[in-house]
Structure 1
């Protein structure tokens, strides 16, 4: 079965509304076409992530699913979805449309698959450079897709977008340290653990001590620097994009601040913002966007 373009957009919007949480409402700060494109982007990324993280399936089964997804994406992009009966996911017609409309490089969508594939087996990273490469594949490319949708006027947006994705992904890594170890994943570089005489076994044992606090303080401070450096992205993108990016900074930055407030004890509870606060941030982004649009229309 193939989906019409309108059905594909509707499918992506439904999936985003059901699973994107408060980010879905942040998308509403954009123009209708951009809002739809963000839903498509989210649907694609979410589907790939679910294929790689399905808890009831063996790693080899998930690997086969991702391989099939990569092959389907290649066929769809090659045949441009014009071959009758060509099998593809309901998100693909809309994905093709936004790739053309916003001139998004196709390689970004394959890079994400590569990133998710790297999580199929237990992972460790020896150096921060190696971790940075992983973060590019699962988060940096998302930032690059976003700036194409939002609109940018300076090629310096590319590097800033990658660094923004790194800041967000590092926040996720620090927040989810306790959950990831159960999946055999130690994202913090081993060179950083060695620096503070902390080990993957300490993470497994949830050893919350001064070594751990020093390690986390170091990682949080480094992540803050990525936030600060990537803020230059605001100067390179459209006003509509600035609104949603500011909202994302407030949400992810708020999580990082919560980790600090908890004195880095991510073992005892999961750092996060209350739903009302995330809804407030999304609402403020929408209001600011509408206000800016009305002023520019005068």
Structure 2
């Protein structure tokens, strides 16, 4: 009988029902993201582990973004996710995602507090549009919706050390700030403004989603935040150097891709924030190659 990376060739990843795995992978595929392709560099058990983590994040994010329900309904549905995650740690499962995620939690020793932090981050969005949070709230939001996901991810990648958590802390913030800087106009159209109120005040930019995209000094606000993101990228790379090199391959790939997006955004500036920065496919492939072999 053949073997695939330590498993018999006919054994399903994580020892889960193939139908359950297919359903979880289907959530990833339906999202339209390139995430699934990026995770192909992982061995099957870790790849499907990440699919399960992503599916969880996707589903709770969908609740937070559901514009048909009111804030009270969205928050109630997210509180139910807290109960659902607690049930997994107590050994209770109801559907395919529960069954796969329960195995992933045990296999990679994922912490309940990190799942709860992600849900709480989505609750911040679900309770009503975030508009010009103070610096402390801005950092808490970045930690919950990005760094907490990182803390789950690095364990699935294969490193549960304190340095891996440090990677998650810095890389999560770097990625989230990059997303915020790229999506200012899109967020504003939905009544959201994630830029910190103290920075807006410093540059005399109105804390108003309807006016921020045309504010004369918006570029200054964004360049300060871009500098913070670059600092977080550098700190994340330093921490990666003290981690398991193989385990950090996906983190290096994500870091390199988002650092390139940030650089492109800085080059373009924020005079016309509705022009969303993106990378060409050849550019993405070159970045990936350099990240994976460098």
TM-score (ref. length: structure 1): 0.84
When residues 33 and 282 of structure 1 are mapped into structure 2, their CA distance, relative to the original with a 3 A threshold, is farther
Equivalent position of 1:197 in the other structure:
204
1:205-235 CA distance string (max 9 Å, x none): 52152x1221111111121111111112322
User: Shift in Å at residue 89 of structure 1?
Assistant: 4.3
When residues 32 and 283 of structure 1 are mapped into structure 2, their CA distance, relative to the original with a 3 A threshold, is farther
User: Shift in Å at residue 22 of structure 1?
Assistant: 2.2
- From 62, 72, 76, the counterpart of 1:60: 72
Structure 1 distance, partners of 2:291, 2:39, is 9
1:90-128 CA distance string (max 9 Å, x none): 311111111100111112111111100110202235432
- From 223, 226, 233, the counterpart of 1:220: 226
Is contact 2:164-2:243 (8 Å) kept? Answer: yes
Structure 2 distance, partners of 1:8, 1:155, is 32
User: Shift in Å at residue 277 of structure 1?
Assistant: 3.3
Structure 1 stretches lacking a partner, 5+ long: 82-87, 290-298
Is contact 2:134-2:198 (8 Å) kept? Answer: yes
Structure 2 stretches lacking a partner, 5+ long: 1-15
> Is 1:41–2:40 an aligned residue pair?
no
Is contact 2:163-2:242 (8 Å) kept? Answer: yes
Q: For CA contacts below 8 A with separation 6 or more, give which structure has more relative contact order.
A: 1
1:122-159 CA distance string (max 9 Å, x none): 22354322211111110011111111111227423212
User: Shift in Å at residue 45 of structure 1?
Assistant: 0.7
When residues 172 and 37 of structure 1 are mapped into structure 2, their CA distance, relative to the original with a 3 A threshold, is same
Of residues 222-231 and 72-81 in structure 1, the stretch that sits farther from structure 2 once superposed is 72-81
Equivalent position of 2:8 in the other structure:
none
Structure 2 distance, partners of 1:32, 1:202, is 43
- From 104, 112, 121, the counterpart of 1:106: 112
Equivalent position of 1:255 in the other structure:
261
Is contact 2:212-2:218 (8 Å) kept? Answer: no
> Is 1:21–2:33 an aligned residue pair?
yes
- From 76, 81, 86, the counterpart of 1:74: 86
Equivalent position of 1:162 in the other structure:
169
Q: Give the SS at the match of 2:246.
A: helix
When residues 250 and 266 of structure 1 are mapped into structure 2, their CA distance, relative to the original with a 3 A threshold, is farther
Structure 2 distance, partners of 1:41, 1:129, is 27
Equivalent position of 2:139 in the other structure:
132
Structure 1 distance, partners of 2:229, 2:21, is 35
Equivalent position of 2:246 in the other structure:
240
- Cα RMSD after superposing both structures: 2.3
User: Shift in Å at residue 5 of structure 1?
Assistant: 4.0
Structure 1 distance, partners of 2:21, 2:42, is 16
Structure 2 distance, partners of 1:20, 1:109, is 23
Structure 2 distance, partners of 1:191, 1:24, is 37
When residues 126 and 45 of structure 1 are mapped into structure 2, their CA distance, relative to the original with a 3 A threshold, is closer
TM-score (ref. length: structure 2): 0.85
Equivalent position of 1:85 in the other structure:
none
